[in-house]
Amino acid sequence: MHPRGMQGSTPTPVRFCRQDVNSLPPSFKAVVDKYIDSCYNELRELSLKIHDCPELGFEEEYAHKVLTEFMEAHGFSVTRHYLELNTAWRAAWSNVSPSSKRSVRTIGFNSEMDALPGIGHACGHNLIAMGGVAAALGTKHAMEKCGIEGSVVLLGTPAEEGGYGKVILLKRGAYKEIDVCLMIHPTPGPERSGTTGSSLALQTIEVEYFGHPAHSARAPWEGRNALDAAFVAYSSISALRQQMKPTHRVHGIIEGREWAPNTIPDYSKMRWLVRAPTAKEVEVFAERVKNCFKAAALATACEMKFTDYPPLHNLRQNDELASEFTAAMELYDRVVFPDKGEPVDISTDFGNVIEITWPSPWLCDPDSKRWR
Ligand SMILES: [Zn+2]
């Protein structure tokens, strides 16, 4: 089944005019390998440049610059600031003339770019950026050499670390032209291995408490303590943890402004991440977490305001693509662990992209940390 246009339904396996990896002519792999090897130094330099200049979500201006220049220099047609998202970009290549009526397939890749506050590229998005570039370059080269018609689109996707960059691009139609979309993400695991597992669905909840200031010693009875509201909510969620499933996660922080020990704080803000294996389970669990916030507001007589964020879906892998990936990796002496039904305990906005297209695997690095 053609995946394009499938919105909101459970994916069924995509049916390509499939050529099994093992049945490809030996020259095909050799063509790709030789070309990627010839790009090794500049790809590595590209990755290190981005690594050495970590930028937070929606601020990836340096990465935007070096990546778009790189793609342009390699024969791709580049759109900077794609779909009015400042650090998003699109690099496209096609060997089909625009006048051709023939429908050809478009393969898409993603390059993430953003880093984490304080710890830089701990999530390895510089590697994802470089991996997307390498995949797009290798695919283009192989199609040219082997006479395969089609198009390649590489999207520079900002703000995966909590900014929902792909969700924004998805809503603005960036994935409509793509038949199948792939990306990689580093994750811990045995050396020279990968996995085609899932990820956790995630709901971000932001809650603000508004109280009333007063002097903490002279007239505390005049105040309504917004820090107490956050404290009570935090404690309630800690109690909730005993009753939650081992597959679920909830974690958050408290922020304030103009706090002093001799003043009743009149404002506090909390950001919480609620995770579960599926979007449905997150929805149910998030309601229980929200009840903790409401109870805290009631207990402290504070006003409360929720800010809604779009939910991130769990990755649902495509069996056909997963088996192709596994077969391809075996050619490189890599082991791919199959999806055992247990999600990797992180989340990604790529889960939302599978509503219309298809995701790809995690590549393991035993030294990498897990974040998000
Ligand atoms: Zn990441």
Cα 366 to middle of ligand 1, angstroms: 16
Cα 57 to middle of ligand 1, angstroms: 11
Cα 105 to middle of ligand 1, angstroms: 28
Cα 160 to middle of ligand 1, angstroms: 6
Q: How confident is the model at residue 266 (pLDDT cuts 50, 70, 90)?
A: very high
Q: Which residue has the higher pLDDT, 311 or 302?
A: 302
Cα 126 to middle of ligand 1, angstroms: 10
Q: Amino acid identity of 256?
A: G
- What's the CA gap between 279 and 312, in Å, rounded? 7
Q: How confident is the model at residue 226 (pLDDT cuts 50, 70, 90)?
A: very high
Q: What is the pLDDT of residue 25?
A: 61
Q: What is the dihedral of CA 372, 249, 317, 325, to 10 degrees?
A: 50
Cα 156 to middle of ligand 1, angstroms: 14
How does pLDDT run across 31-83, given as a tens digit for each residue?
Answer: 889 999 999 999 999 999 999 999 999 999 999 999 999 999 999 999 999 99
Cα 356 to middle of ligand 1, angstroms: 21
For the four alpha carbons of 266, 117, 125 and 75, in that order, the dihedral sign comes to positive
Q: What is the pLDDT of residue 193?
A: 86
Q: Are 107 and 152 in contact (CB under 8 A)?
A: yes
Cα 279 to middle of ligand 1, angstroms: 19
Cα 123 to middle of ligand 1, angstroms: 5
Q: What is the pLDDT of residue 76?
A: 97
Cα 63 to middle of ligand 1, angstroms: 15
Cα 51 to middle of ligand 1, angstroms: 13
What Rg do the C-alpha atoms of the chain give, in angstroms? 23
Cα 183 to middle of ligand 1, angstroms: 11
Cα 129 to middle of ligand 1, angstroms: 11
Cα 44 to middle of ligand 1, angstroms: 19
- What's the CA gap between 134 and 36, in Å, rounded? 7
Q: Amino acid identity of 288?
A: R
Share of the chain above pLDDT 70, in %: 84
Q: Are 233 and 310 in contact (CB under 8 A)?
A: no
Least confident range of 151-160, 240-249, 311-320: 311-320
Cα 350 to middle of ligand 1, angstroms: 10
Cα 139 to middle of ligand 1, angstroms: 24
Cα 28 to middle of ligand 1, angstroms: 31
Cα 293 to middle of ligand 1, angstroms: 28
Q: Cα angle vertex 23, ends 20, 27, to 5°?
A: 120
Q: Are 202 and 311 in contact (CB under 8 A)?
A: yes
How does pLDDT run across 74-125, given as a tens digit for each residue?
Answer: 999 999 999 999 999 999 999 987 776 567 889 999 999 999 999 999 889 9
Cα 221 to middle of ligand 1, angstroms: 47
Cα 158 to middle of ligand 1, angstroms: 11
Identify the structural domains of the chain with CATH numbers, from first to last: 21-198+315-364 (3.40.630.10), 201-308 (3.30.70.360)
Q: What is the mean pLDDT of the chain?
A: 85
Q: Amino acid identity of 9?
A: S
How does pLDDT run across 275-297, given as a tens digit for each residue?
Answer: 999 989 999 999 999 999 999 99
**pLDDT > 60? residue 10:** no
Cα 125 to middle of ligand 1, angstroms: 6
Cα 349 to middle of ligand 1, angstroms: 9
Q: What is the pLDDT of residue 235?
A: 98
Q: Are 14 and 318 in contact (CB under 8 A)?
A: yes
**pLDDT > 50? residue 343:** yes
pTM confidence score: 0.76
How does pLDDT run across 178-215, given as a tens digit for each residue?
Answer: 888 888 888 778 888 888 878 889 999 999 999 999 99
Cα 159 to middle of ligand 1, angstroms: 9
Cα 54 to middle of ligand 1, angstroms: 13
